[in-house]
Structure 1
């Protein structure tokens, strides 16, 4: 007979099996939701919660009147997710992005041809361009909030301002020097994203708010900077010169009103500019100053008491110094010049004769007091100290040539500072480029005034100034620097130029530097042109016209009126 199974036993066995299985599920559930819940919650958060940097807005660099020379604009970063762009859509996406962004289609296509990547940056662009791109609704194309550095003036004060890299960090110029002040501090927030990478609404939380960068206000006047840059650039082009610089200083404060170089750096296309043109030549390029240095010899001679402005020298057109025969710029018969006449006519021989009355050590000491051999102290990046050899090491001929500016080297800013000292009654003020910065609360914090140092006596300064005013007269070498209605004091300089390319002296440095009004000085202007090839090479021919243009504009821009006085008579030659 067939026996039927016990249904009660089957049910009990089934219940036991089900209970065992369910207990396993329950235990696993307890483990997941109880014991290990924090671990799995953290792992899930890693997949959907991401840190996102909140970029800080970089501070602005402005001129002395608050006009922005460097500022930060709202922008958008356009990116692609190659894994979301199908092979059939890549050509269309590449075409659209290349057209709207001005990029190479091949470059965009190369970014899209990497489907293993989830993120590829294409470019940073303006808001309007980003909006147009997003209106195409291209799958895999997105945009992020970014900032973009802009320079409204293009190349205006380009080498002075410098530039920033793609990450917003200052790489050159004042952008680099004041990077910590300008940069601010980035913030951070958490965002949650879905499986496709889209953001989940209402899930952001800010961990740290960004702190905006602070502004830097310069002593530069935008209008005077433009005029100086225009004048030096035009002269460099007209003379076929290698480079040039023009500087404008405030006599009383030492503040730099303009600092222009040619060629200048176009900040909107700095990546395409050779690195040698990134530097600020006004403070980095050293050269032998030539006859502009004679004012220091004059000051040393007057301070020593060995010479007075009316002291007469018998001056031939050449003189032997050790193994060298040194000459004046132009041949002439032996003449009797006053010391004022020696400076006004820029006689090398007469200057050597005056230097011999004071000795090497005193001349070297005066060069040091005027700042030769040390950095001017402006704080500008790349600032050079020039070269001032110890007087004990001077060669036989160098003992003569140093007196008229050969055998020592300086920068344009150092030379301008010498004339600021003379114009300021013998008191040197450390050149200053930064007027101040803004604090985190937005209040303006002015920079400390430049250090003031007495270099020569007020009497000596006035006597040298009178000589320099005579140098701009019809009998002097700087007649082309004269400005109608104003009394101008200044000095030409022409020096042979040492060039590493030719491993010796080749070409010339043409300089003119002076101040106005001569009897109540307000502004110093320096113009230097390196290695002119056309139109001559003398400072009175090449650099003096630049001085005149820049000084005329600056005087009008700063509303400096003529003094209405007449210059005192200066005796140039004995017997006059």
Structure 2
């Protein structure tokens, strides 16, 4: 009988998928499942007893909070508090007991601040006491940007800019610097302006007392006087050369201040009083300086020269009465001026003097008794010297010429002839005696020594050119000193620029007189003076220097100018130097123009400057003419 529905399937028949699935599940769970059948329907043997199922875990009992003993808690808390308090107590004992002095000193250091009390810088005056540089009281205005609220910065910047003469953008930028507690707004502020700003009640604004330097005469003797920098030190000229004397010594004051920087009332302070600087009185005469400066500035403009210099010197003392340069430095606007104007060219610029140097050759020849003013030379217009042919300024036929005439007409050839009689060694010695190759004393700032090569190193042509002022370099101050020596009877005096000093009590101390040295005899000096008078006569090259009513002695100079930037000669140096009255010399005046473009001869360009300045100077000093007439001299051969 078939069992197809109730009894199961036939052996070997395929089982439904659902049955197979239940068997697999039962096998995984460890339950009963129909045993698998082997091949051909065989039932495999049993595999052994099955593991009984794991019994469920019992539930955990609820946690029970067991509170400790209150006494124990209190004891632990007391121990902790005692430990902490002991730390505080130990620190307190250390600070107030063991290290009390250290912390006291640190606290004092925090409160105490050292303030500098600036000394008042001394004045610089002319020889009559007129102020050329003076110090006045001023204020240094600063602010703490951290205490200026952002809402009022714009208004504060507008007020400060209007009073201090600065742009609002500049002031606003400083007020915005909240990373710092100090911003300097302006130096050299007028006390009235500073007081007005403080009354405006701007937050954290302060004004410190200081001084500022004023130059009442503006550019008068600007490069000679020099100027003072922001730190109060002299930068150039007399301001630098006499800085220690003028500056004095700053004082100090220790005060106690609070966190806001304000001084704590009733606290102690230590004060060292400042020592004000001394006044320096120059030998310069303000009026003559003005005339010299005016004349050389006008001539530089007319001639198209690069620069010009005038020196006025007292013959008897070698005191410098005027030292002018063109262009000149405006001391009230020195920051805007080119650096080339900072230099006192009259003492520092080195150039080849040209024919003004011929008086030294004449002095060497006369002292050696190789020539006299009346010695006659047969003078062509050129002469061969080593590998060069040297010429006079103008071509001329060979002519007989006295040495006096040669100097008056500035003949290069005749001067070389006289120098050959002297020799290079003796000529070199005379140049040294007149001060060439060494810086002049007397305290003139920036004074240079010039260039004087040893005669043993002169080239063949240089032994000739030095005789008429080429191949040797000097300063205007050195050239003026040569003519002071001749005018002073052959006695050289160191140039002087300082007349004396005045201390804080008002006591004036005159400067010591310059060192005196005899260079040539009085006879030689007198002979050269008569030769120089001839140079200013109608037959000389310096006619434009003549002053009606006065006897004038002088010499023109025209030299090739060496340009250091090009490394070669280019242009000319035109000069004239002389003294008056020639019979009783009182003043020396030198004028120099560098690289003029509208003409180049010294007699044409520099002689008129000499005349203007000398005329003003002798009138200013009320120097009368001596009244004597020039002695008759033999100008030409055959006379």
Q: TM-score, normalised by structure 2?
A: 0.84
1:219-270 Cα offsets, whole Å, 9 max, x none, are 1111111111111111111111111111011101111111111111111111
Distance 1:214 1:109 in 2: 41
What's 2:252 paired with?
188
What's 2:40 paired with?
none
What's 1:335 paired with?
399
Distance 1:343 1:180 in 2: 47
What's 1:13 paired with?
none
TM-aligned CA deviation for residue 198 of structure 1: 2.3
Distance 1:206 1:317 in 2: 81
Which of these residues, 76, 79, 85, is aligned with residue 139 of structure 2? 76
What's 1:92 paired with?
155
TM-aligned CA deviation for residue 37 of structure 1: 4.0
Question: Residue 550 of structure 2 contacts residue 581 of structure 2 at CA under 8 Å; is this kept in 1?
Answer: yes
What's 1:51 paired with?
114
Count matched residues: 562
Distance 1:279 1:206 in 2: 43
What's 1:239 paired with?
303
Distance 2:175 2:190 in 1: 22
TM-aligned CA deviation for residue 347 of structure 1: 0.9
Distance 1:39 1:89 in 2: 43
State yes or no: 1:524 paired with 2:588. Answer: yes
State yes or no: 1:133 paired with 2:232. Answer: no
Superposed CA RMSD: 2.2
State yes or no: 1:227 paired with 2:291. Answer: yes
Determine helix, strand or coil for the equivalent of 2:228.
Answer: coil
Distance 2:270 2:314 in 1: 48
5 Å matches for 1:341-360?
341-360=405-424
Higher relative contact order (CA 8 A, sep 6+): 1
Q: Which runs of 5+ in 2 are unaligned?
A: 1-78
State yes or no: 1:555 paired with 2:618. Answer: yes
Task: Summarize the Cα distance change of 1:421–1:19 in structure 2 as closer, same or farther, 3 Å threshold.
Answer: same
Question: Residue 355 of structure 2 contacts residue 468 of structure 2 at CA under 8 Å; is this kept in 1?
Answer: yes
Distance 1:158 1:556 in 2: 24
1:179-203 Cα offsets, whole Å, 9 max, x none, are 1111111111122223322233444
Distance 1:105 1:494 in 2: 56
5 Å matches for 1:443-458?
443-458=507-522
Question: Residue 443 of structure 2 contacts residue 498 of structure 2 at CA under 8 Å; is this kept in 1?
Answer: no
Distance 2:465 2:97 in 1: 91
TM-aligned CA deviation for residue 81 of structure 1: 0.7
Question: Residue 277 of structure 2 contacts residue 503 of structure 2 at CA under 8 Å; is this kept in 1?
Answer: no
5 Å matches for 1:216-365?
216-365=280-429
Distance 1:531 1:270 in 2: 25
TM-aligned CA deviation for residue 279 of structure 1: 1.0
Which of these residues, 436, 446, 454, is aligned with residue 390 of structure 1? 454
Higher mean C-alpha displacement, 331-340 vs 490-499: 331-340
1:472-510 Cα offsets, whole Å, 9 max, x none, are 111110011111111110000000000012210000000
Question: Residue 189 of structure 1 contacts residue 204 of structure 1 at CA under 8 Å; is this kept in 2?
Answer: no
What's 1:12 paired with?
none
Distance 1:440 1:73 in 2: 16
Higher mean C-alpha displacement, 20-29 vs 323-332: 20-29
Higher mean C-alpha displacement, 227-236 vs 435-444: 435-444
1:428-475 Cα offsets, whole Å, 9 max, x none, are 001111112234544222211100000000000000000101111111
TM-aligned CA deviation for residue 570 of structure 1: 2.3
1:331-354 Cα offsets, whole Å, 9 max, x none, are 222222111111111111111111
Determine helix, strand or coil for the equivalent of 2:150.
Answer: coil
Question: Residue 291 of structure 2 contacts residue 616 of structure 2 at CA under 8 Å; is this kept in 1?
Answer: yes
What's 1:3 paired with?
none
TM-aligned CA deviation for residue 40 of structure 1: 3.4
TM-aligned CA deviation for residue 166 of structure 1: 0.6
State yes or no: 1:564 paired with 2:623. Answer: no
What's 2:177 paired with?
114
State yes or no: 1:423 paired with 2:506. Answer: no
Q: TM-score, normalised by structure 1?
A: 0.93
Which of these residues, 446, 461, 464, is aligned with residue 400 of structure 1? 464
Distance 1:441 1:134 in 2: 35
Determine helix, strand or coil for the equivalent of 1:357.
Answer: helix
Determine helix, strand or coil for the equivalent of 2:575.
Answer: strand
Task: Summarize the Cα distance change of 1:518–1:29 in structure 2 as closer, same or farther, 3 Å threshold.
Answer: same
What's 1:102 paired with?
165
Q: Computing the radius of gyration over CA atoms, which structure comes out larger, 1 or 2?
A: 2
Question: Residue 488 of structure 1 contacts residue 517 of structure 1 at CA under 8 Å; is this kept in 2?
Answer: yes
Determine helix, strand or coil for the equivalent of 2:422.
Answer: coil
Determine helix, strand or coil for the equivalent of 2:284.
Answer: coil
